[in-house]
Amino acid sequence: GNSVTQMEGPVTLSEEAFLTINCTYTATGYPSLFWYVQYPGEGLQLLLKATKADDKGSNKGFEATYRKETTSFHLEKGSVQVSDSAVYFCALKSGGTSYGKLTFGQGTILTVHP
Amino acid sequence: GAVVSQHPSRVICKSGTSVKIECRSLDFQATTMFWYRQFPKQSLMLMATSNEGSKATYEQGVEKDKFLINHASLTLSTLTVTSAHPEDSSFYICSARDANPGGATGELFFGEGSRLTVL
């Protein structure tokens, strides 16, 4: 079956530090990959996505590249801000009869200090 | 982006009672909605897929008689936790797929979640 594994948190960084949150996956076929962000008290929001190998998703300074050879989709940001503090979820969506269902990683809590 | 609203955001109930959680798509029609459960420090677990006008499809291990799902309209799905017990305490999140531009390619939008505490 499909699965997503994220690096365990929590991750604590100082403002302007470099961020990497690792994500690897197991899936049949060619899944689409996503990063979702959940700010305190809010629902999940799509941060970025990539639908095929070597695609790079980017948004708000975050980026992630779909690496089929390493089955990875690591999230990176060059300079984090306090407002980036949130929970980040890596997810995949596979096709076929299960189309539309998302499989999530366990989430990584990011805290950025001034 | 599109908005999905859940209500209530928090609910506390006594063991043995039933609780209903609503999920509404506010500015789009959703033929399909998904219900997730999130345990503390754990991932979201898909419980069921709710299709408008038909029975929900439950994931393996999810008791359909305990977690009743109704998707009576294109903008509303409800999850009823029947005869709730303390182990049902959790964070329940719904997501909805915009029926337009149509098909399974529509983006998923998530509600803010509902925290259920069963005493």
Say how far apart CA B14 and CA B7 lie, in whole Å. 18
**pLDDT given at position B83:** 96
A5 phi, psi to nearest 5 deg: -120, 125
pLDDT digit string (tens) for B88-116?
Answer: 999 999 998 876 655 445 578 889 899 99
Burial (CB count within 10 angstroms: exposed 0-12, middle 13-18, buried 19+), residue B4? buried
- Interface contact A41, partner B, CB < 8 A: yes
Strand partners, B96: B33, B109
Q: Which of B59, B44, B37, B46 is nearest to A106 (CA)?
A: B44
Residues from chain B that touch A44, judged by Cβ atoms under 8 A, are 93, 95, 110
Q: B-contacting residues of A 68-97, CB under 8 Å?
A: 89
Residues from chain B that touch A36, judged by Cβ atoms under 8 A, are 110
Residues of chain B with pLDDT under 70: 1, 99-106
The CA distance from A103 to the nearest CA of chain B, in Å, is 8
- Interface contact B31, partner A, CB < 8 A: no
**pLDDT given at position B3:** 84
The CA distance from B28 to the nearest CA of chain A, in Å, is 16
**pLDDT given at position B28:** 85
Say how far apart CA B34 and CA B46 lie, in whole Å. 7
Q: Which of A24-38, A98-112, B25-39 has the lowest average pLDDT? A: A98-112
Q: Please confirm whether the linkage preceding B8 is cis (ω < 30° from 0).
A: yes
**pLDDT given at position B11:** 96
Please give the structure tokens belonging to residue A107. 């989430």
**pLDDT given at position B101:** 56
- Interface contact B104, partner A, CB < 8 A: yes
Say how far apart CA B76 and CA B31 lie, in whole Å. 10
